Structure 1
Amino acid sequence: MQISRRKALVLGGSAAVLAGCGTVATNMTAPTSPVGLNAIAQTKGLRFGSAISSGALKDDRYLDIVRRDCGSLVAENEHKIYVINGESQRFDFDRGDAIVDFAQKNDMAMRGHVLLWNRDDFLPNWMPKQDWGADKKRGMKAYLDKYFETVLTHYDRKISSWDVVNETIDPATGTMRETVFTQNFGPDVVDYAFHQARKLAPDTQLVYNDYMIWEPGNENHRTGVLKLLEGFRNKGVPIDAFGVQSHLGTGDGPVGKGFPDPQRREWRAFMDEIVGMGYDIILSEFDVNDTRLPANVKQRDRLMADYAKAYLDMMLDYKEVKEILAWGMADNHSWLETWWPREDGVVKRPGLYDANYEPKPLYYAVEAALKNAPLR
């Protein structure tokens, strides 16, 4: 995910659907366990981490939270093609290297995001204008070979898991997006990306990552992702895990209506099919968007925590889930602080910690879900 221009998740509805899920306490002022979220996760065979930007490396108070709670990191944008290869003849690893160096110094695992983001809206400006030659597939293949080899060789074993392909399914149609990559190489470019990644990084976990979720409006998206993953297995494409981004949130509908009734049965059927194919699961970009929630802070925080806890309890019931990464730990380090702004102008609160680095009910929801998770 970018500090992103994307993903209007379709929501509305009422928080009443969470009845019976339990309510997360909201009167705590410090984490109940001094060891941090990753230490709790480890007791269950899990790992907890977060996305981080290179700019956040200058915020010492925030880094204290990251060190305390996280066992893995992923760069928000610094390992994307428009950063690394923003200029056609230049590869820039400076910002990405800074994050990897921080992870290594703090004994954290590092995930890579992303090698092939199959969307034209997140390409470097030069790429749509590029002349790939008379044999367009050959020209695109030569470029991808160079890009994959440059990036994967540069990071070698410093990155243990890569989102090889990201968001290739059009959520409206459930079919593969038409992009510079598919138009010049062909639709099998996503298969090729995984084969190249396996060849160049044989010991690295290879992941397909996408943002469909359990909320209404994601039906076509889920169907398309399921078909894609089935195709990977049938064709012997080397993919180890599926990244469920887990952006819970609000999109359409009036402010103040809360969350919708999630499609639990349909979501479980979707997940059952995926784990039945033998994929591990990563909750790769977890957060909660409060755009459509009531303005009252106490009420809003409670709704977010209860909704997140219900989702995490369901997902952690799958022993194939091995890792959770928040997409930013604090309100002021979240892409959601500015994306999908509230109509009422109220400041958003999407993080596990607030802007003063105090833990919120959402933190305790994650903590409780990890403690309740079955051992894997």
Structure 2
Amino acid sequence: MDTTHIASLRSLAKKRDVLIGAAANWRALRTDYAYREVLAQEFDLLTTENELKFGPLSPRPNAYDFGPAEELVDFAQANDMKIRGHTLLWHKMNPDWLTENNFTRHQALELLHKHIFTVMAYFRGEVYAWDVVNEPIHDNGGLRDSFWLHTIGPDYIEYAFRWANQADPNARLFINDYGTEDLGTKSDSLYNLVKDLLRRGTPINGVGLQMHLSIADSQDFVKPPTVQDLEENLRRFADLGLEIHITEMDVQIQNLSGSMEEQLERQARVYEDVLTVALRNPQLKAFVLWGFTDRYSWIPKATGRPDAPLPFDEYYQPKPAYEALYRALQAA
């Protein structure tokens, strides 16, 4: 495969007024020179992978450790990259001191307010966009059970966005979820939720579609949407006046039949189709991968099976998926 290019992904994306990014692994950034080099060369948007989630950030009451997140922000600023803060609220990775206590609704609202203002004030003016609420929709279309829903109620989402806007009025505020790129029950629920928030005057700027996809020979994974369904889904969110970010894309190939070459070509077509369709929508402002090299992908650990879901292999060599993204940006 010819890996010689006259441009990087970030330079091509800039010409199309779109940010292209990757979630960054703090430990890899500290210890792996090649990781730092490729990340800075190819991307102009950095998403914090775990460093701004509530649990890692505040393992003890009234104490925050901003060190790892600050290193990511410093790296991004040194390399002319914008930051996506991920995430203020999620049903997972919360500290034990939060979830194992029986807080009242009033106390939970106070904790929510304090958390949002503490984190956003620390990085005020430095974080371009925040995933304010992450994965609030259950696969069945209802609101996902979480500490915040259980203790506060459905209006925790509106409180979070209003307080986030007060904490940093210049930050772009997003709701983010998986399995919502296709047309169906879950994406309908996200659409209706956002539409209702806007009707209430809630300060929400955009929707993040994660795009954790799989082309495995199994029904247990999220399949890529059809081109038509993806286009229609993006259009309806854009018609609400929302910005659109693809926020966490990777494409699993485990359990896929065929040679490795065939698997990687099928994977590449998914990447190319998604980016090509997304670029047709003028409200697409960012396209972000969940990592960029197979070396540090979360998927093998989460599934217990080897995989190669990202555009660079474990030795930082571009794969067909990289070439596909490059072509899509060139053709846009």
TM-score interval (norm. to shorter): over 0.9
Alpha-carbon shift at residue 296 of structure 1 (Å)? 2.2
- Residues matched between the structures, number: 331
Q: Does 2:185 align with 1:205?
A: no
Counterpart residue number, 1:371:
330
> Of 115, 124, 129, which aligns to 2:95?
124
Which of 93, 107, 112 is the aligned partner of 2:85? 112
**1-structure distance, mates of 2:322, 2:232:** 28
1:55 and 1:130 map into 2 onto residues whose CA distance is 31
Judge conservation of contact 1:207–1:240 (CA < 8 Å) in 2.
yes
Q: How far apart are the structure 1 equivalents of 2:223 and 2:151?
A: 41
Q: Match for 1:331 among 294, 305, 316?
A: 294
Say whether the 8 Å CA contact 1:337–1:350 is kept in structure 2.
Answer: no
Counterpart of 1:77 in structure 2 is 50
Q: Is the contact made by 2:268 and 2:320 (CA closer than 8 Å) also made in structure 1?
A: yes
In structure 2, distance between residues paired with 1:283 and 1:44: 15
| Change beyond 3 A, Cα 1:348–1:31 | farther
The corresponding residue for 1:37 is 9
In the other structure, the counterpart of 1:19 is: none
Residue among 132, 135, 138 paired with 1:164: 132
Amino acid at match of 1:180: F
C-alpha distance after superposition, 1:162-218 (max 9, x if no partner): 1111110001x2111122212221210000000000011001111111112456xx7
Counterpart among 205, 225, 228 of residue 190 in structure 2? 225
Q: How many Å apart are 1:341 and its aligned residue?
A: 3.9
The residue number in structure 2 matching 1:146 is 114
Partner of 1:314: 277
Contact 2:175 2:207 in 1 (8 A): yes
TM-score for both structures, normalised by structure 2: 0.94
> Percent of aligned pairs with the same residue?
28
- 2:186 and 2:287 map into 1 onto residues whose CA distance is 22
Amino acid in the other structure paired with 2:116:
F
Trace 1:6-85 onto structure 2 (pairs within 5 A).
27-28=1-2, 30-33=3-6, 35-57=7-29, 58-85=31-58
* Cα distance, 1:96–1:319 mapped onto 2, change above 3 Å: same
Matched, 1:361 2:320: yes
Supply the AA of the counterpart residue of 1:293. L
Cα shift at 1:87: 1.9
Letter in 2 for 1:360: K
Which runs of 5 or more residues in structure 1 are unaligned? 1-26
Please, which moves more after superposition, 123-132 or 320-329?
123-132
Taking structure 1 as the reference length, the TM-score comes to 0.83
Match of 2:142 among 175, 180, 204: 175
Which of 202, 207, 210 is the equivalent residue of 1:242? 207
Quick check: 1:214–1:267 contact (8 Å CA) kept in 2?
Answer: yes
Q: 2:22, 2:47 within 8 Å by CA — same for their partners in 1?
A: yes
Corresponding letter in the other structure for 1:163: D
Gaps in structure 2 of 5+ consecutive residues = none
Contact 2:214 2:223 in 1 (8 A): no
**Aligned partners of 2:294 and 2:309 also within 8 Å:** yes
**Greater relative CO (CA pairs within 8 A, separation 6+):** 1
CA contact (8 A) 1:48 1:72 kept: yes
Measure, in 1, the Cα distance between the counterparts of 2:48 and 2:287: 14
Judged with a 3 Å threshold, the aligned counterparts in structure 2 of structure 1 residues 123 and 359 are, in CA distance, closer, same or farther, namely same
Residue 213 to residue 339, structure 1, CA distance change in 2 (3 Å): same
Shift of 1:234: 1.0
Alpha-carbon distance in structure 2 between the residues aligned to 1:104 and 1:271: 30
Q: Which residue identity lines up with residue 261 of structure 2 in the other structure?
A: K
Say if 1:115 and 1:165, in contact at 8 Å, map to a contact too: yes
Match of 2:308 among 349, 352, 365: 349
SS in 1 for 2:248: strand
Q: CA deviation at 1:365?
A: 0.6
> Displacement of 1:338 after TM fit?
2.5
Over 3 Å counting, the alpha-carbon distance change for 1:94 and 1:259 in structure 2 is closer
**C-alpha distance 259-187 of structure 1, shift in aligned 2 (>3 A):** closer
